Structure 1
Amino acid sequence: MKVLVDRIETQQSELKFGDPIGCHYHWTEPGEVDKYGDSVRHLATKVELAVDAFERTAGLSEDVFAGEAADTLRERAGRRHEESVTVRDNLRGLGRAINAYSDVLRRHRDGLQELRAYASSHGLEVRDNRIWPPVETIAGDAPEKEMNAWERDWKTYQACFDLKIELRDARRASTRELVKALADYADVHPDKDKQKLVAANAHQVKFGDLRREAAEEAMEAVQANHAADAARHTVDVLKRREQSALDDLEKMVLAEKSPEEITAQSAKVQALHRELVEARTEALDAERVADREQAQANRAARDLEAAEQGKPRLVVEQTDWQPVNLKDRLG
């Protein structure tokens, strides 16, 4: 997660008394932020449907659905129910945090408009979306009327400056709260990642990199296992089709069907057998890939666990072996 600060924001961090006071709103429109927050909360409402579906599936009674498959289905539905409840609650909380931030932006925008109007109504120069301070000095022999006006302008400028600081600090505080909410709901804490590094010989490995690597390896392992399951399912289906074709062929022979029908059925059996052989080869390859991906995912998970516990993590870089030229080495 990266929070970017624009150039204008950086300049405003160095605002000093006596500088022009910026009163132009240049952040994202509050309405757009509100729409995004609403969409996140709408997504949470859709997840609610999944929560209900998993809950009903996990609660299927033995009278309705019994057996090992039913038990497995109920168990998986129960786990999915817990996961979907967490996702739903996180989306709702995140949507509320985004909507709250849009209200802060709206108040900030309105506050800048009121600040500009206040400065204009009290005689300060407002130009290029900036409130310009009065002249710094005035002649000591100036008339009392001019002295009073000069002092009044500086008091007005002081009030505008203080109000701008309050608006800025309130918006920044809300920004920090939103970032914290995002980190909590996403379970990502970039500040902690920056505080800790894991030594790896001459390199430094960040926790964020380890988490991303572990997540990517886990996803690849899941996809490889799904592919292996699909390949095994294809083998099972072809085995049943081949056996059924063989049974039909046996029945046709016993029934003394015509040679043409028996030949056609025999060709069908042979085609299914060839397809089954190819499917078994593909399933074997898929299982090997799944085993390899699972091993890599397990290794990445162990690396992450070791890093979180503060244990050293050894990174070995594989290099291509090249023969040594002794003549060059010895001269």
Structure 2
Amino acid sequence: MNKATIQLLILLCSLCFINSKVNANEFCDTPLVLSASNQFSGAVKEAQLAYDKICKSLNSGAIKHDELYEILYSFHQILSSEAKSAMPALADHLGTFQNPLIEIIDGEISPRAPSYMVNREELSVTSITLFAQGKNNILSNTIPTTPANTCLQNTACRKSLDEYVKLVANVYSPFTLAPILLVEPFLLKKDREWMDYIDNARAQTYFDIGITTWLYEIAYGKEPDIFSSPPQFQYFTLRPMAIIENVNEAVDGQQTKSSLALEVFGVNAWNDACLGYACGTSFIITHVDRAEVDKFGWGFAFHVENDFSFGFTKHGDDTGFFVTVDLLKLIIDKKSSFKQYKEGFRQNEN
């Protein structure tokens, strides 16, 4: 998801929930529990102090802008200093959270909700966006590809990034709009869903992806949902399969043979839809040379856990049984599949 996509979702969320404020007592009744590595020890202490002061002020009925800014300023300065040491790859790109994230709207203090998003293009990380969403605007900063990948490929740096953003979010939690806080989990959930789909679902050809996006368009219309989840069901047409087939009625020595099959049409519920397992079925046609058995056959395949398939065939009056694995997963390029799905969903928006 690119930067514009993230900003659009956040704006939509804020417009829908802008009047839904959270009572400070809902947060402040429970002491703030912070956990972070020693690299943020100073920021943790300041976070606790800032949180306690904010809750005390809010519970007393009001808080002045100068007072709030002063409370938060020390926390942000120490956090920024420790963050640059903990994440040297990102040291030049952390200005978004360097100062208090508050603004004044119509004489009222309005905090911004901090978060970050890993942006991807065709499964490759292109950047990291740090942003702080308020009622009227977004503070954002895009960390370029090279430092973004340098940090994300380093376990310690990635952990520090998560701790860094979480510390800021926790301090602002008493007076942050709850729906905006849901933006980061929502975006991360979508990202994980697509990665899971591309990695684990049955491999699909261009025909399969095309018919899947077309059928979903018919079912749900061309709704402008650029944050679509992966399809729950995969559809297949004219998909080749290599199978091992056994026909008992064939002459000795030719009963079990490899065969080429073609999925004429199939469907697969790829994500644990059948009693906790992925499952699907397809109508297939087969061709294999055997003495005294029809070369062409037809039958049904049953798919289990996206990788394994078995089924039954008919060659005239003779019945066969076959098994196979999803060999196309070794051939189909995941990046190309992701790109085609992305283009298909974009076309459906127009």
Give the TM-score range, shorter chain. Answer: under 0.3
Q: Larger C-alpha radius of gyration, 1 or 2?
A: 1
Q: Using structure 2 for the length normalisation, give the TM-score.
A: 0.22
Q: Using structure 1 for the length normalisation, give the TM-score.
A: 0.23
The structure that is helix-richer by fraction is 1
Higher relative contact order (CA 8 A, sep 6+): 1
The structure that is strand-richer by fraction is 2
